[in-house]
Amino acid sequence: MSTDGHNVDIAAPGTGGSAADKVYYGLREDIRASSVYPWDRMTEKTVAAHFGVSRTPVREAVGRLAAEGLLQRHSDGFGLVLPSAETISGLYEARLAIELQGIRRVAEGEASTTVRACSGSRPGGRRSSPNRKPPNPG
């Protein structure tokens, strides 16, 4: 739900649903579809008008979305939760660690063994049979 006047008519999945569910699922979809911008400040009144409901279901839906970490309350309404610089830095560090581990595995040859194990193939290109017992070593 952008301040540009673009309206999305979203109801709760399935049939029926309360007014709070309509607002909850509608706002979630608006957030997912990038219809809500980080600088948008929404109020109960504007969201209620957008979804054609009273302010009580809006309060309930916003509370649920805030509990999920998608929205945060401000003195002048509410808006998207924006990650801090520290959070973004931590995400990049985690990504770097994961990518470096993947590079190490490829360099050490572990990745090809894992791929073969997951695909059911054996060295030499032969596929293992799910009904076949492994050979007895003794």
User: Does residue 101 have a pLDDT over 70?
Assistant: yes
For residue range 32-59, what is the model confidence (pLDDT) as tens digits?
Answer: 898 888 888 899 999 999 999 999 999 9
Query: What is the rounded average pLDDT of the residues 12-16?
Result: 48
Please state the pTM of the whole predicted model: 0.53
Residue 17 has what pLDDT? 80
Average pLDDT of the chain, as a whole number: 79
Buried b (16+ CB within 10 A) or exposed e, 41-67: ebebeebbebbebeeebbebbbebbee
User: Could you tell me which residues come within 8 angstroms of residue 2 by beta carbon, excluding any fewer than 6 positions away?
Assistant: 35, 36, 37, 40
29 in Cβ contact with 23 (< 8 Å)? no
pLDDT band at residue 126, thresholds of 50, 70 and 90? Answer: low
